[in-house]
A and B are shown apart, each in its own frame.
Chain A
Amino acid sequence: DGGITQSPKYLFRKEGQNVTLSCEQNLNHDAMYWYRQDPGQGLRLIYYSQIVNDFQKGDIAEGYSVSREKKESFPLTVTSAQKNPTAFYLCASTPPENEKLFFGSGTQLSVL
Chain B
Amino acid sequence: QKEVEQDPGPLSVPEGAIVSLNCTYSNSAFQYFMWYRQYSRKGPELLMYTYSSGNKEDGRFTAQVDKSSKYISLFIRDSQPSDSATYLCAMSPISSGSARQLTFGSGTQLTVLP
Contact = CB atoms under 8 A, between A and B. Distances in A.
B104 A99 contact: no
Interface stretch (B57-65, B69-77, B93-101): B93-101
B97 A96 contact: yes
Contacts, number: 71
B34 interface: yes
Contact of A42 (B4, B32, B99): B4
B88 A42 contact: yes
B42 A106 contact: yes
Interface stretch (A14-22, A63-71, A75-83, A87-95): A87-95
Interface string B1-18: 010101010000000000
A65 to B, nearest CB: 18
Given A48-B99, A97-B97, A99-B92, A105 B43 contact: yes
Interface of B: 2, 4, 6, 8, 32, 34, 36, 41-46, 49, 88, 90, 92, 95-107
12 contacts: A31-B98, A41-B106, A42-B2, A42-B88, A42-B104, A42-B105, A92-B99, A94-B99, A101-B44, A103-B44, A104-B43, A106-B42
